[in-house]
Chains A and B, each alone.
Chain A
Amino acid sequence: MTDATLDRPTIRRPDLSAKRLGKRYAAEKRFQLYGILAILAAVLMLGVLLVSIVAKGYSAFAQTEIALEIHFDPAELDPDGTGDPEVIGRANFQGLINEALYREFPGATGDRQARRALRGLVSSGANFELRRMVMENPAVIGTTRTLWFRSSDDVDVFLKGEVTDIEAVETRGRLSLSETGDEIELSSDADDFAGVLAAVKRSLAAEADEIESDAAREASAVAFYESELERLRAANASSEEIASAEASLASHAESVERLAARVETLRARAAATGGSEELDDELPSFVVSANGGVVKLTSVAGSRATGRALIGLESAAPAAPGAWQLRRYVVPEASRRLSDEEVAWIDALEQQGKAELTFASGFFTSGDSREPELAGIWGAAVGSFYTLIVTLILSFPVGVLAAVYLEEFAPKNRITDLIEVNINNLAAVPSIVFGLLGLAVFLNFFGLPRSAPLVGGMVLALMTLPTIIIAARAALKAVPPSIREAALGIGASRIQTVTHHVLPLAMPGVLTGTIIGMAQALGETAPLLMIGMVAFIVDIPGGFTDPATVLPVQIYLWADAPERAFVAKTSAAIMVLLGFLVLMNALAVYLRKRFERRW
């Protein structure tokens, strides 16, 4: 310190104490951490999005097929032996399939409901497949062949393990069976059913616990309304308010009692030693497979059990230890779409190798359908293709011409300024507004057909135009003026300069922008909803004016469908769409990298 500084006592030295610096550095660390966290959060969200879609969708690339022994009965197909395709075409092919199913499970043909369930195993599109096959090859008539058919979506979902697990329960004893009417008595000399009884009691206890916690929640609601009532009475609230609170209190109190009673019965059932237990549809199902049949246990008592046949037994002979199995369908019948019978059938088919998961080629080759197992994305993909062709044909030349004009020829005045501002704004106009434009102008005013790729392509072209113009202008701007001067200097006209020199040099950039614009158009949904491309269309579109839909709209339609199997289909369609987008963007990146030029 010199004297001069001492003259000015007001000048303060910075506070560089370790404490304060430590605080400042802690703040610094924190701040940097926020940044890292933000990026990680964004990446994580992207990851969750992709993983959830792949996890939901990968199973749709596989599909269950069922092997059936079809007898091509000439009496059914072609009774007069004419060989006339028209006669054969009218035959009842569904009947052939049904008969094959009935033969497979003869026991199930008794009641209509079971028959319907049995027919439901095979996709409703199977008869068309069969018909096509016979029409193509009439020689099969009279023979019997094993053919693979697509299963219905419920079977498919089951085979993918999304309905219930099936667990084997260990058995040691010898099983003896006796059939009285519909009822089957089972007993094992090794107490094997006692384990079932114990498992049932555990389930009962668990259920009681669950209901008890529900009851506790209700009880707290009771407490809440009691205090609420007191508060209302104290505050002299209107009688209506008090009445409504009283009503709520009463209803909650009532359900507390009801639940408590149920808990009590359940607990009593669970606690009782020995005795017998009914297996209702809220408990996991236990089934015994023996003698070529499957028996579902309906009640158990120690070493004995009674049950009914899901698949008829071939004989009532006793089964040696190891020759019979006890199995458990983990999810209770009441909580799944497939009944015990259906599970038993599919399980039997699977064990005999007659139901298998195969590659779902139909997903890539067929159009939309109400039946999940028949629905495919080919129709939507073709629709997307036609739509994008129209978009490309319209937006690429117009976009490039507009960009060349604005960048190379336009005088800098208010009008070109206006065009420029206008293009920047158009790029940010919500896409649905373009849909409204398409509806009002292309459909209602010009009378173009609804749902057509032509109109979809036109709307998307207007939407991608700003993207292409902006990218093309940037690419043109990046070409150094010296190139233009060189060309002009040897007497080329301005158009020659642009077409011979500037545009070829800018082309990689223009193409990159165009591909990115096309990728945007491929993923766009909202404007196409406005012009009717949401219709349910089974046929593969064959031209620009045929009714069609596109991939993203197909995804939207499937996402709305109630069948569970459509969730996987939707996710799989999303994976296909994302695949196309990745390809297009990779192409754009490749173009940029390959032809990138630094001036």
Chain B
Amino acid sequence: MSAVELSPDAVGKNAPKIVARGVNVFYGSAQALKEVDLDVGEHEVTALIGPSGCGKSTFLRCLNRMNDVIEGCRVEGRIELDEDDIYDRQLDVVQLRARVGMVFQKPNPFPKSVYDNIAYGPRIHGVGQSKSEMDEIVETSLTRAGLWNEVKDRLQSPGTGLSGGQQQRLCIARAIAVNPEVILMDEPCSALDPIATARIEELIDELRQNFTIVIVTHSMQQAARVSQRTAFFHLGNLVEVGDTEQIFTNPRDERTEGYITGRFG
């Protein structure tokens, strides 16, 4: 796969779903990520933590090429999804994003009904030709996002009318309706209250059964609760990666220790 020799920590126990090697990201002339090597294991939750501006969100957005949208952003290095180079010219970004879904910091439901929010992805990708198939997809996705019981009576009301936590779960349901292989979550709970956060965390744990999840989080507790593996970023460098338990109980790098013990961040 790669000729580069890596420390055993960089490679997890599960088979790797995403393999990143030597990733550099520049915004104009400023470098946001420096030589990041990281494997994301299949069917586990990988948490990316670190202080603000450390590059963790940038790395996340590299994984489904959302950085393409940002002007002046340049990515170097190699990122493979199931051994396909996602920055290959041949690879189609639409195809990639259908396989790697994303949930954002602020819930961003489309200004459409709950139903149409979920159905949007399947429709553009040609999944679910008939009305009944689509109904089924909507129901399954909402059920898996734990939202079905709350919204089944108002599928036709606008998605923007839901509460913040519900909106975020709607966005998760929207992402899984396309049935991607990987789901990226960019601080999905930062705009939510503690109860809604707890629900989302439970959901993430359940979703691990079917999806590979990468989550960026500000909260170390959250990383500890939901993830199996944790990567710590600092000033654009990947400082340390390993099993979550190990990172939180026995960090090897003093910067990691400083961060998780709250000396900076």
Give the B-binding residues of A (Cβ under 8 A): 2, 4-5, 8, 10-16, 20-21, 24
Is the pair B210, A14 in contact by a Cβ cutoff of 8 Å? no
Contact across chains for B125 and A10 when beta carbons are under 8 A apart: no
Distance in Å: Cβ of B137 to nearest Cβ of chain A:
7
For chain B, give the interface size range: 20 to 34
Most buried by B among A2, A10, A11: A11
* A/B interface sample: 15 pairs, CB < 8 A: A10-B136, A10-B140, A12-B127, A12-B128, A12-B179, A13-B179, A14-B121, A14-B125, A14-B126, A15-B126, A16-B95, A16-B98, A21-B94, A21-B95, A24-B94
Q: Which residues of A contact B169 (CB under 8 A)?
A: none
Set B92, B133, B210: member contacting A21, Cβ < 8 A: B92
A21: chain B residues within 8 A (beta carbon) = 92, 94-95
User: Is there an interface contact between B125 and A5, defined as CB atoms closer than 8 Å?
Assistant: no
Residues of chain A within 8 A of B173, CB atoms compared? none
Nearest-CB residue, chain A, relative to B180: A14
Answer whether A16 and B125 are a contact pair too, CB < 8 Å, given A8-B140, A11-B179, A21-B95. yes
- Chain B interface residues (CB < 8 Å from chain A): 43, 92, 94-95, 98-99, 121-122, 124-128, 133, 136-137, 140, 178-179, 209-210
From A4, A14, A24, B127 is in contact (CB under 8 Å) with: A14
Selected contact of A14 from candidates B98, B133, B136, B140, CB within 8 Å? B98
How many angstroms from the CA of A223 to the CA of B125 in the assembled complex?
Answer: 57
Contacts of A12 in B (CB 8 A): 122, 127-128, 133, 137, 179
List of A residues within 8 angstroms of B140 by Cβ: 8, 10-11
B136 and A20 contacting across the interface, CB-CB below 8 Å: no
Q: How distant is the Cα of A5 from the Cα of B137 in the complex, in angstroms?
A: 14
A14 x B92 contact (CB < 8 A): no
Q: Are A15 and B136 in contact (CB under 8 A)?
A: no
A593 to B98, CA, bound (A): 46
A5 to B, closest residue via Cβ: B210
Q: Which of A2, A8, A15 contacts B125 (CB 8 A)?
A: A15
**Distance of A11 from chain B, by nearest CB (Å):** 5
A267 to B127, CA, bound (A): 73
Partner among A5, A10, A14, A24 whose Cβ is within 8 Å of the Cβ of B178: A14
A4-B210 in contact (CB<8A): yes
Residues of B within 8 A of A14 (CB): 98-99, 121-122, 125-127, 178-179
Q: What is the CA–CA distance of A24 and B126 in the complex, to the nearest angstrom?
A: 10
**In the complex, chain A residues whose CB is within 8 Å of the CB of B98:** 14, 16
Residues of A within 8 A of B136 (CB): 10
16 A-B pairs besides A2-B210, A24-B94 with CB distance below 8 A are: A4-B210, A10-B136, A10-B137, A12-B137, A12-B179, A14-B99, A14-B127, A14-B178, A15-B126, A15-B127, A16-B95, A16-B98, A16-B125, A20-B126, A21-B94, A24-B124
Query: With A and B bound together, what is the CA distance between A21 and B91 in angstroms?
Result: 12
